[in-house]
């Protein structure tokens, strides 16, 4: 039997996962719960992007718009915590400058975690109601299935439509491509087949190389601000940023033909 996916049922499962991630984060905003929370909000957003591509679904634009707005608020709050965890990990030198940055990141991490908890307390109930309303609206389409082949086509088409042309040094567009690759990966992962697995791995590779570049870019900017451009640590971060950018651009070039939708 050909592999297939159930878009609405998958969304329902992801909403359940989000509820669990929120509960764990509220109990203790450690790294793993925060990462799970952030990733699950992204996966729900990706599933909603997939649903928006499907014809003949019940009209659900209004609850979907409300859900996206609330998910975005939680994702951004969780993202600030995640970014500080990553920046702390990347600053592993034993130098005095590195210790200064780690101390700064620890302080900011505590503040960001408090802001995340505040956002969860503020928006959790409304988000739950909004997602329940969305699922109720989509209820008549719960039995809908799409084949893995069709999912691959939809994923490639979505990615192509959401990826802007990027020049060699256009950081904003390169960042947008990274984010699009992440959502495309999550869309592809909603079907269990060799073809969608390969496609998801390709997008994951772009996501990770783009993420490495963006993490070093952010850290380089922070070091320039906190330590100055003459700092050896700042120069080291800038060098790592340049190397990771080169790798990311190479991957984009290597995968460009494979990620073009079939005519």
DSSP per-residue codes, 137-185: HHGGGTT--EEHHHHHHHHHHHHHHHPPP--TT-HHHHHHHHHHHHHHH
Alpha carbon distance 8, 143 (integer Å): 8
Percent of the residues in the chain that have a pLDDT greater than 70, as a whole number: 95
Alpha carbon distance 40, 17 (integer Å): 7
In a 13 Å sphere around the CA of 122, the CA atoms on its Cβ side amount to: 11
Residue 157 scores a pLDDT above 90:
yes
Q: Return the H-helix or E-strand segment holding 6.
A: none
pLDDT of the residue at 59: 94
Query: What SS3 state is found at 240?
Result: helix
CA dihedral sign of residues 201, 251, 213, 69: negative
Mean pLDDT, the chain, integer: 93
CB 169 within 8 A of CB 213: no
Q: Closest Cα to residue 255, out of 144, 145, 163?
A: 163
Domains of the chain: 1-144 (1.20.1440), 146-263 (no CATH)
DSSP 191: S
pLDDT of the residue at 1: 38
pLDDT band at 260 (very low <50, low <70, confident <90, very high): low
pLDDT tens figures, 234-259: 999 999 999 999 999 999 888 877 77
CA distance readout (Å), 14 to 23, 24, 82, 124, 161: 14, 15, 20, 15, 25
pLDDT tens figures, 60-79: 999 999 999 999 999 999 99
Alpha carbon distance 155, 199 (integer Å): 9
CB 190 within 8 A of CB 10: yes
Residue 166 scores a pLDDT above 60:
no
Alpha carbon distance 39, 18 (integer Å): 9
Q: Name residues whose C-beta falls within 8 Å of residue 54's C-beta, 6 or more positions apart in sequence.
A: 7, 144, 146
CB 206 within 8 A of CB 255: yes
The token pair that represents 147 in the structure block: 């084949």
Work out the number of other CB atoms within 10 angstroms of the CB of residue 201.
Answer: 12
């Amino acid at each position: 039997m050909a592999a297939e996916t159930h878009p609405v049922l998958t969304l329902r499962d992801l909403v359940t996962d989000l509820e669990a991630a929120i509960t764990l984060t509220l109990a203790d905003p450690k790294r793993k719960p925060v990462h799970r929370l952030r990733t699950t909000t992204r996966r729900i957003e990706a599933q909603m992007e997939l649903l928006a591509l499907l014809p003949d679904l019940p009209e659900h634009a209004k609850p979907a718009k409300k859900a996206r707005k609330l998910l975005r608020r939680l994702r951004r709050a969780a993202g600030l915590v995640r970014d500080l965890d990553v920046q702390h990990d990347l600053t592993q030198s034993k130098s005095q400058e590195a210790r200064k940055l780690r101390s700064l990141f620890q302080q900011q991490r505590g503040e960001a975690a408090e802001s995340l908890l505040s956002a969860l307390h503020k928006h959790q109930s409304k988000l739950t109601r909004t997602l329940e309303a969305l699922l109720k609206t989509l209820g008549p389409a719960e039995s809908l299935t799409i084949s893995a082949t069709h999912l691959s086509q939809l994923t490639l088409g979505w990615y192509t439509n959401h990826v802007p042309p990027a020049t060699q040094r256009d950081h904003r567009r390169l960042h947008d491509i990274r984010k699009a690759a992440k959502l495309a990966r999550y869309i592809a992962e909603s079907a269990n087949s060799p073809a969608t697995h390969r496609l998801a791995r390709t997008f994951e590779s772009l996501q990770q190389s783009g993420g490495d570049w963006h993490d070093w870019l952010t850290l380089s900017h922070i070091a320039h601000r906190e330590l100055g451009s003459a700092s050896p640590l700042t120069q080291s971060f800038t060098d790592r940023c340049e190397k990771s950018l080169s790798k990311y651009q190479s991957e984009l070039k290597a995968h460009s033909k494979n990620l073009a939708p079939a005519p």
